[in-house]
Amino acid sequence: MDLGLSGKIALVAAASKGLGRAIAEEFAREGAKVAMCSREEGAITAAAEEIVRKTKGDVLPIAADLATREGCESFVQTAVAKYRTVDILIVNAGGPPPGRFDDLDDAAWQKAVDLTLFSAVRLTRLALPIMRKQRGGSIVYSTSTSVRQPTQYLNLILSNAIRASVHGMLKTISADLAKEGIRVNAVQPGRIATDRLIQLDTDTAKRQGTTPDAVRKRYEEQVIPMGRYGRPEEYAAAVVFIASPKASYINGVSLQVDGGMLMSMW
């Protein structure tokens, strides 16, 4: 299927590894021009070079710390300086560290708010004038299935609380921006096999006195109907589709990509 992405300009945040990295590669494979960022210049440059080798695409690596206003500005402004516009914005960020409520002080909460919520606010604010000028655009927030079922992950209260704020924002602005031709959606990963998930399974294993392999086995045998963790490229395919012109009548949606793990109807 031709998703209509050839020549489109896609900005993918936090893309040196994991889900962001997979999303950037999928956009490049579909013919989009991709600006991708990470805090570490070496890591994002290496990821971009690998994507170019695989796809022959047009990829711009940018070093930027999205937990800061300056980093968000640098990412968007550097991308626009090269590509002149923004058709698609993928808001992604490394997840906050695991921890129960009593483990976390004000500094931990503030750091998580800056990275997870304010990166979404700032990147959206920076992209909107460009999208409004061209009367169209697509914004997708990469979040988590925990916004629908927070009690699945009792040690992820930072992510559970703050990502829910991102969803409240997206649902509100999706209605406000639709008349201007700008679509706003979210995609929620379930148990997708990334370094981040290894970190979470390791933390869970320590708390439960077991092993990461045992944690994964329990999810695959008892929790996920499809019986396995997802692959990053499977998640990326869903994100790229919902961001693309082929999804032109999808707006204000939160799509779960979790192998059927969540039991809720909505």
Helix (H), strand (E) at residue 80: helix 69-83
pTM of the prediction? 0.94
pLDDT of residue 134: 96
What is the phi/psi pair of residue 62, to 5°? -135, 130
Dig out the tokens for 141 from the structure: 């927030």
- pLDDT (tens place) for every residue of the chain, 266 residues total: 899 999 999 999 999 999 999 999 999 999 999 999 999 999 999 999 999 999 999 999 999 999 999 999 999 999 999 999 999 999 999 888 888 899 999 999 999 999 999 999 999 999 999 999 999 999 999 999 888 887 777 788 999 999 999 999 999 999 999 999 999 999 999 999 998 888 888 888 888 899 999 999 999 999 999 999 999 999 999 999 999 999 999 999 999 999 999 988 77
Dig out the tokens for 177 from the structure: 């921006």
Positive or negative: CA dihedral 191, 193, 196, 201: positive
Alpha helix stretches (DSSP H) within 84-218: 106-112, 118-133, 157-177, 195-208, 212-218
* Domains present along the chain, CATH in parentheses: 9-192+234-257 (3.40.50.720), 193-229 (no CATH)
pLDDT of residue 148: 85
Q: Number of C-alpha atoms within 13 angstroms, CB side, residue 109?
A: 9
